[in-house]
């Protein structure tokens, strides 16, 4: 095939995305950790950007006005045709975080659908993030799936720039959250053998630089690139590196008896990660994940930082309670994205109660919007934690995912075991539970102005599946009475206190208000 144009230039070396604004880029996985960080970088550099999302209404709140968001699902082949039309280069940032069910088959189908649709649409190249690890050894199911997805993308015949990376260190990443929680909470750790396995962690900033530069290197240079930070370290050494910057000296005592399953359960109880995610990380950690091929240092200008600098940058964000994206942001991270099609629900159960408070609606709603995370649930926090621990033991998300911001919420944000499904400022907040439940559950708050007061209506909604679902709900009838009544009263009291604080702030300082006669 002749790839030369009339000037004699070899067009196979030209990347159509090399100049921002001249080509269309498709980003998948923009609601995930890495994709969510990549999104603003692409926007800031002026790329024409289109994002594929299963829930466009959630993502539209996070993109600029110049970014297009289209509905689509990598498991629905036909939905991809419109999304890929006119695209030059596409980022494939899709991977199941679930360790339940046939996630490998799901990933195969998704990769095959996407690569076939991209080929048919005339896409010039794909960019993908996989995982480090030698194909010559028996890899964990998650690492094996990452490699297999890359192979499926290449089988389409399209050039694929695949970055194989080890642990990603950045504020909000799963690996960093694991390290931070262990060192902060446990001065003495009995750790299994997996903490000794060598890895080559990469800072999120360096990984993003690689992903951005992939738009500028020639398409002909697309291949598998192994990328990592400047240091080859074990997880034990990462924990000590974190401790040095926080003035902590964790005592790490290795023991041989903890299996990956027990280790994952232990992580679920100690860290914000739940057991399912912890197990996926541990099964990958037991393999050596270091760079064996340094070609990336030749073909890219990126010079990766070491573990100390990566942790320092991550802490700079953590210390200000800010993270642009977190590992739990992705909808797939909950593992509860069940298809309820065809499921016969029982009679919907609605538990609604209301209370009137002498406070303005915007004040009341501010108190509601602060719910969860470090602030807590206004009442019976120990019961919430107990329920979260039970959910963790069942492989669920538990109550420790927290929330992105301590004061404001957006559709799609996590709030401990919930996710924001709808929010209307000063009027409504609806949270959908992502716990492991025999049915679907929501918690809703409505605020209504009534003359000089405000009514707060709190509604718990549950769609039980079969007898098991109904037994589950009614077995919690008494705890719900304490929790829901206490929560409603707590919100009202917080609103009253905020109104008092506002009134006090309007009273002039006595010294400045007093006049003295001569």
CB atoms within 10 A of CB 469: 20
Residues sharing a CB contact under 8 Å with residue 477, sequence separation 6 or more, in sequence order: none
What CATH number corresponds to the domain at position 88?
3.40.50.720
Domain check: are 170 and 44 in the same one? yes
Domain check: are 405 and 500 in the same one? yes
Environment class of 385 (CB within 10 Å of its CB; exposed 0-12, middle 13-18, buried 19+): middle
Instruction: Provide mean pLDDT across the span 98-122.
Output: 84
pLDDT higher than threshold 90 for residue 93: yes
Give the count of domains, the chain: 2
Domain check: are 62 and 202 in the same one? yes
Whole-number Å distance between alpha carbons of 315 and 335: 28
Domain check: are 295 and 371 in the same one? no
Q: How far is CA 449 from CA 427, 446, 499, in A?
A: 9, 10, 15
Which is nearest to 88 in space by CA: 5, 160, 15?
15
Domain check: are 220 and 266 in the same one? yes
Domain check: are 246 and 136 in the same one? yes
Q: What is the DSSP letter of 10?
A: B
Domain check: are 390 and 256 in the same one? no
Higher confidence at residue 183 or residue 155? 155
Q: Give pLDDT tens digits for 202-257.
A: 999 999 999 999 999 999 999 999 999 999 998 889 989 999 988 888 888 777 66
pLDDT higher than threshold 50 for residue 342: no
Higher confidence at residue 455 or residue 21? 455
Is 511 within the bounds of a domain? no
- Strands 48-53 vs 68-71: parallel, antiparallel or unpaired: parallel
Is 439 within the bounds of a domain? yes
Banded pLDDT at 26 (limits 50, 70, 90): very high
Banded pLDDT at 10 (limits 50, 70, 90): very low
Range of the domain at 429: 345-504
Percent of the chain residues topping a pLDDT of 90 = 42
Domain check: are 372 and 442 in the same one? yes
The reported pLDDT for the residue numbered 518 is: 34
Q: Which of 183-197, 474-488, 494-508 has the lowest mean pLDDT?
A: 183-197
Higher confidence at residue 64 or residue 323? 64
Whole-number Å distance between alpha carbons of 277 and 274: 6
Domain check: are 123 and 262 in the same one? yes
The reported pLDDT for the residue numbered 5 is: 38
Which is nearest to 18 in space by CA: 223, 301, 218?
218
The reported pLDDT for the residue numbered 269 is: 55
pLDDT higher than threshold 60 for residue 100: no
The reported pLDDT for the residue numbered 512 is: 41
Domain check: are 88 and 229 in the same one? yes
pLDDT higher than threshold 80 for residue 348: no
The reported pLDDT for the residue numbered 341 is: 42
Is 113 within the bounds of a domain? yes
Q: Model-level pTM?
A: 0.69
Is 84 within the bounds of a domain? yes
Average pLDDT, the chain: 82
Instruction: Provide mean pLDDT across the span 120-140.
Output: 87
Domain check: are 389 and 301 in the same one? no
Is 339 within the bounds of a domain? no
Higher confidence at residue 383 or residue 510? 383
Whole-number Å distance between alpha carbons of 350 and 338: 22
The reported pLDDT for the residue numbered 185 is: 75
Is 1 within the bounds of a domain? no
Domain check: are 234 and 353 in the same one? no
Is 18 within the bounds of a domain? yes
What CATH number corresponds to the domain at position 408?
3.30.530.20
The reported pLDDT for the residue numbered 13 is: 57
């Amino acid at each position: 095939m002749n790839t030369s144009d009339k000037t004699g230039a070899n067009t196979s070396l030209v990347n159509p995305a090399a100049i921002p604004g001249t080509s269309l880029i498709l980003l998948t996985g923009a609601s995930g950790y890495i994709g969510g960080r990549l999104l603003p970088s692409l926007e800031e550099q002026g790329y024409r950007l289109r994002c594929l999302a299963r829930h466009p209404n959630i993502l539209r709140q996070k993109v600029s006005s110049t970014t297009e968001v289209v509905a689509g699902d990598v498991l629905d082949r036909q939905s991809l045709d419109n999304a890929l039309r006119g695209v030059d280069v596409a980022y494939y940032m899709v991977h199941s975080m679930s360790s339940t069910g046939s996630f490998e088959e799901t990933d195969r189908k998704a990769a095959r659908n996407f690569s076939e649709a991209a080929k048919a649409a005339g896409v010039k190249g794909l960019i993908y993030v996989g995982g480090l690890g030698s194909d010559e050894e028996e890899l964990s199911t998650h690492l094996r799936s990452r490699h297999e997805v890359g192979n499926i993308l290449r089988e389409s015949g399209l050039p694929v720039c695949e970055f194989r990376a080890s642990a990603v260190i950045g504020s909000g990443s799963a690996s960093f959250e694991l390290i931070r929680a262990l060192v902060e909470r446990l001065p003495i750790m009995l750790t299994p053998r997996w903490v000794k396995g060598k890895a080559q962690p990469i800072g999120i900033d360096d990984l993003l630089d690689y992903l951005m530069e992939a738009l500028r290197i020639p398409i002909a240079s697309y291949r598998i690139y192994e990328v990592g930070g400047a240091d080859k370290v074990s997880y034990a050494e990462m924990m000590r590196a974190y401790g040095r910057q926080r003035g902590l000296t964790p005592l790490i005592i290795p023991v041989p008896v903890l299996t990956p399953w027990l280790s994952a359960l232990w992580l679920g109880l100690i860290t914000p990660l739940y057991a399912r995610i912890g197990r996926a990380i541990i099964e990958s950690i037991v393999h050596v994940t270091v760079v064996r091929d340094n070609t990336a240092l030749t073909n890219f200008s990126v010079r990766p930082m070491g573990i100390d600098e990566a942790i320092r940058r991550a802490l700079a964000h953590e210390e200000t309670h800010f993270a642009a994206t977190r590992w739990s942001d992705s909808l797939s991270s909950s593992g509860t994205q069940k298809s309820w099609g065809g499921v016969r629900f029982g009679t919907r159960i609605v538990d609604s109660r209301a209370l009137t408070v002498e406070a303005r609606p915007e004040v009341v709603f501010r108190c509601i919007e602060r719910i969860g995370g470090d602030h807590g649930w206004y009442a019976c926090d120990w019961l919430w934690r107990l329920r979260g621990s039970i959910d963790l033991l069942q492989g669920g998300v538990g109550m420790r995912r927290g929330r992105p911001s301590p004061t404001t919420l957006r559709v799609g944000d996590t709030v401990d075991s919930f996710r924001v499904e709808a929010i209307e400022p000063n009027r409504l907040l609806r949270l959908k539970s992502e716990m492991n439940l025999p049915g679907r559950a929501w918690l809703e708050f409505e605020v209504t102005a009534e003359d000089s007061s405000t009514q707060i209506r709190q509604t718990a909604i549950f769609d039980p599946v079969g007898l098991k679902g109904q037994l589950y709900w009614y077995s919690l009838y008494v705890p719900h009475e304490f929790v829901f009544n206490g929560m409603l009263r707590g919100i009202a009291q917080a609103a009253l206190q905020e109104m008092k604080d506002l009134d006090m702030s309007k009273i002039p300082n006595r010294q400045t208000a007093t006049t003295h006669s001569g």
